[in-house]
Amino acid sequence: MIRKPDPAALSSGEFFARATERLNFEVPAGLTDPAVIPVTGDEGTDRMLSAVAQERPIRPAAVLIGVVAHETPTVLLTQRAAHLNDHAGQISFPGGKIDATDASPLDTALREAEEEIGLSRGFVEPLGYLDLYATGFGFRILPTVARVRPGFSLNVNTGEVDEAFEVPLAFLMDPGNHQRHSKEWRGLMRSYYAMPFADRYIWGATAGILRVLYERIIAS
């Protein structure tokens, strides 16, 4: 039986070693192919994603899961600006839609992190792509997991982000902190995750992606 690591005792080195073993930079077909629908294992969510793929164009996007290599590692997150039209004030990863000029989803994630919070690429060591994550708004999000070297300074773009902050990786990787909720969508009940931390309410796609990170790196 494979022993799962204790999130509270998880060192930066152990996390990055596990991530390097389990991730790669192969771009999944579902990022741009509406016929390939990511499977979540939640029946309501899977049916929702299937319907959304038939009704609206998919919106390829990429985000950066920046794990800061402190002795006690943290994850770099942002709070979206309150005046934005989409997902105003929500907790998110640095990232956004994939532009035609981006060389790869990795390039998108690095570019967006520079534009949104001023994180220099020189501090970022990409480790690989996490599983593709789809949303009810038609987004297909490909997260890049990366090691971020401490010592960086940030310059937050207040047109997009109100604040950047760090949350302990151990908290986010502890399944005891993964609240599972449900809501109705067209008569279907679907589930979603929330991970409240202090006065931050991490939920929706961000919490869902963090849950995938746990399942891929810690639980496997």
Rounded to an integer, what distance in angstroms lies between the CA atom of residue 90 and that of residue 124? 24
Rounded to an integer, what distance in angstroms lies between the CA atom of residue 12 and that of residue 6? 13
Please tell me the total count of domains within the chain. Answer: 1
Other beta carbons within 10 Å of 184: 9
- Residue 191 structural domain: 7-218
User: Is 2 domain-assigned?
Assistant: no
User: Is 1 domain-assigned?
Assistant: no
Helix boundaries (H) for 133-193: 169-172
User: Is 22 domain-assigned?
Assistant: yes
Give residue 86's pLDDT.
Answer: 59
Give residue 57's pLDDT.
Answer: 92
Give residue 1's pLDDT.
Answer: 46
201 vs 170, 187, 196, CA distance in Å?
A: 17, 26, 4
Residue 169 near residue 214, CB atoms below 8 Å: no
Give residue 220's pLDDT.
Answer: 83
Give residue 186's pLDDT.
Answer: 85
User: Is 151 domain-assigned?
Assistant: yes
Rounded to an integer, what distance in angstroms lies between the CA atom of residue 36 and that of residue 53? 9
Query: Whole-structure pTM over 0.85, yes or no?
Result: yes
Paired tokens of 54:
């038939």
Q: What is the full per-residue pLDDT of the chain (220 aa) written as tens digits? A: 456 778 767 788 999 999 999 999 999 999 999 999 999 989 999 999 999 999 999 999 999 999 999 999 999 999 988 766 555 568 999 999 999 999 999 999 999 999 999 999 999 999 999 999 999 999 999 999 999 999 999 999 988 899 999 999 999 999 999 999 999 888 888 999 999 999 999 999 999 999 999 999 999 8
Rounded to an integer, what distance in angstroms lies between the CA atom of residue 182 and that of residue 180? 7
User: Is 30 domain-assigned?
Assistant: yes
User: Is 191 domain-assigned?
Assistant: yes
Q: What is the CATH number of the domain that holds 45?
A: 3.90.79.10
